[in-house]
Structure formats: structure tokens, C-alpha cells
Amino acid sequence: MTRQRLQEFTAKDIMTSNLITVEPGEDVSSAIGKMQQYDINEVPVVTGKGKILGLVNYETLLRKRSIPMTTKVENIMSFPPRVEEDVPIMDIAETMLSSGYRAVPVTSRDCIVGMVSRTDLINIIPELNILKEILVHEIMTSSPHFITEKETIDQARNLMYKLDVRALPVTNHKGELTGVVGLKDLAKVNYQAKSRQTRGDIAGGKSSSSKVEVKSVMKAPPIFIGKDAKISDAVKLMNKNDISTVIVTERNEPVGIITQYDLIELIASFKSEEQVFVQISGLHEAEPEAYDMMYDLIQKSVKRMAKLVTPKIFTIHVTRHDAGSEQTAGNITIRGRLTTEHELYHFAANDWELALALSSMLSQMERSIRKDKDKKQTIARNKNKSAK
């Protein structure tokens, strides 16, 4: 298929229309029960007439603190963006990236007619020649963070929040991959623990489950793939095992990670726009000035990089480290990932000031891009000389 064929796919072509929903008056325990029963990550909150009001998902429940299980879902639901049936899939992918939602409602006249999830989107990849031949190492995140079997689920949850990820590789004391733990696994532990309490049932609060070791809740054996495999094979593994993350291994050690998010980024990158799509995560809502400063620095850097490559998607994540942590180069870490028309660049930098950390990371990326460009030009010149 051609790129034009990719552009022809719309929400109506890939959406799920057989929906599991909850009504606004149902409680949290009912919503969690449905998510567990049907093994789904989110449920739309819908009125009896089919009007969509919001969404309840595992992220909402885990990020909230001290939520009584009898709380009505209308009081804790979130409000995802909506798309129409004729919206192209590249636009849907971009909407998911910019909003952070794993699924978006498809509506007609304010009533829900379907849902498009990340799984629905990535399932199109094996059908498209332009996408399915791409190799795993071209889009994976290298040197992934991991957690050990002996650490607790509280430590796993805190690390996921800090890194803004949904799953972590789990290793033994030898550094060998033994499992994977995800937000859904932690949510189930919390729900089961709170359901057994006789007073103040809550979702997401502290309990004896905080002492539970990761090894007891992780998925094992882990699902993994080689870095030279095709991304269409990664999609097949995700579908076959109903997972959103596949670990990339080399000699039984985790060397990378590929997620549905990475594949959504890839689809969104085919949207033909001059403007680079930028997403910043990890900042607090009370830091609007930081957003402005970061966007300004990023846009200036992207203009310089655009003279050498064709930037498509730029994702930035900010991590603030607690006092007394092992971070010696600064209490702020900036991780950047730039998807271009042909390459993927990712770098990280630490500093005590946000602007300095971002500037350092951007400088690293610019130098790498310039170095790659010079190398390619040298190779081209040598080939021309040899041809003569």
C-alpha cells in the first residue's frame, strides 16, 4: 500500500463499536469490575440516551488518592477529546499523543458510536508496506529503565509516575530479564486489597500491599523481541499476548523497549504538516512559564535541525529527583526523543536548572544530527569518487 492509502483510513474503518460502558451514577467498584471482567483499560461514561460524558481509566484511579469505592464515576471521570467518524487515523494518532489518552470516543451528534484505542490504530501497521518493514531498533527506546524482582509495587508505581511510563522490565540480581510489570497489574493489586478492607475502602491509597514484591505481581515469562525484528512482528506479539509493551533483548538482557506509544508516534509522523509536533510531559500544571520557556528553546533548536533533517515529532519528558537521590549532575533530568523522516534520536541531560538541562540535551541532539549528516555526505562523496 502507498502513503495515500494510509491517509484514506478513518476512525470509522478501525473503531470498536461493541462498547462496554458505565452510567454516571455507577460507582468506582462497578467501573473497575467491568474493566477487569472485559480486560479493558478504560470505560466511557454514557447516559441512557447514548450521550458521552467522560471516561474512567486505570490511570485516573491510580493517580487519585483516597477514593472511596462507592464514589460515583461522574465525580472522578476525565474528559477525553472526541473525534468524528471521518477523521483520518494520522489525526487520531496525533490527538492521542497530545492528550495522553490511550483511547478516544468516536461521536456523531454528541452521541458515542465507537471507540478508537491504540490497539485499533497499531493493528493497521501489518497491512501497510510503508510501515511494516521498519525494524524495531529504528523506533525503540534504548537503555530502558527497569526494576528488580525484590523491589515493592510502591517503588514500581513511583518509578512509572516519575518516568511517565506504563510498564517496566523486571530483572533478577544478575540483570537478566525475568518479567514485566504494568500499571494494570498494580491497579488490580490495589483494587483487591481495598475490596478486602472493612472500613474506608479506597482506590489508590496506601495499604499492606505496599510491601508486596514486584516478583509476585509481574507477568512472567516476559514477552520479548530482537532489535533487528520488524515492527509488524512486535504488533503481532502485542495482539497475541494482549500487551502494550514488548521488551527488546540482547543476550537475555533488556536493551530497549517498544510500546504502542512508539507505534502511534510513527503513524502520526505521516501527517503532512510543516509544523513539528511537540509534546512535553512531567511538568506540574502550575508551571505555565516553564512550558513557554521550553517551547521557545525547542522551536529555535528545531529550526536549526530542520536545515539538516525533516523533524516530525519531538517528545520531551521532565523528571525531578528527590533530595538525597543518587543524581549527582543535578536534580532535573530531561529526556528528549526526536522522530525525523528517516531517523530516531534520543538523548538525556541532567542539571540543577530546567533551562540548562534542556539546552544541554538539545545541544547533544543537534551535534549528533550534524555528525550524521557529515558522515552521510562523506560516504556520498567517496562513492562518487569511486564511480569516476
| HEC string for 157-202 | HHHHHHHCCCEEEEECCCCCEEEEEEHHHHHHHHHHHHHCCCCCCE
Segments in the chain below pLDDT 70: 1-5, 63-65, 188, 190-210, 272-275, 284-288, 322-330, 387-388
What is the Cα–Cα distance from 232 to 236, expressed in whole angstroms?
Answer: 6
Task: Kindly tell me the sign of the dihedral angle through the C-alpha atoms of 46, 50, 52, 53.
Answer: negative
387 phi and psi angles, rounded to 5 deg: -70, -30
367, exposed or middle or buried, with CB in 10 Å at 0-12, 13-18, 19+? exposed
The SS3 assignment for 353 reads coil
Report which secondary-structure segment, H or E, holds 6. helix 3-8
Joined together, the cell numbers standing for residue 211 give 510491601
Residue 349 near residue 361, CB atoms below 8 Å: yes
Q: What is this structure's pTM? A: 0.68
- Give the model's pLDDT for residue 18: 92
The pLDDT, as a whole number, for residue 295 is 85
For 37-40, the CB contacts below 8 A with 24+ separation are: 39/242
The cell numbers describing 65, all together, are: 488518592
State the pLDDT at residue 204: 45
Give which of 218, 183, 217 is closest to 203, Cα–Cα. Answer: 183
> 137: closest CA among 346, 348, 367?
346
Structural contact between residues 4 and 126, judged by C-beta atoms closer than 8 angstroms: no
Query: What local confidence, expressed as pLDDT, does residue 112 receive?
Result: 96
Is the omega angle on the peptide bond into residue 221 within 30 degrees of 0, that is, cis? Answer: yes
DSSP characters over 262-322: HHHHHHHTTS--SSPEEEEES--TT-HHHHHHHHHHHHHHHHHHTTTS-EEEEEEEEEEPP
Closest residue by Cα to residue 267 from 40, 99, 15, 95: 95
Exposed e or buried b per residue across 157-188, where buried means at least 16 C-beta atoms within 10 angstroms of its C-beta: bebbebbebbbbbbbeeeeebbbbbbbbbbbb
- CATH numbers and ranges of domains, the chain: 3-126 (3.10.580.10), 134-265 (3.10.580.10), 273-386 (3.30.160.100)
- pLDDT score recorded for residue 265: 85
Q: Which of 239, 316, 267, 275 is nearest to 134 (CA)?
A: 267
CB-based burial label for 122 (10 Å; 0-12, 13-18, 19+): buried
Return the pLDDT at 379.
82
Q: Residues 136, 226: contact at Cβ < 8 Å? A: yes
Tell me, what's the pLDDT at 205? 47
Query: Considering just the CA atoms, what is the radius of gyration of the chain in Å?
Result: 22
Angle at 183 between CA 102 and CA 64, to 5 degrees: 85
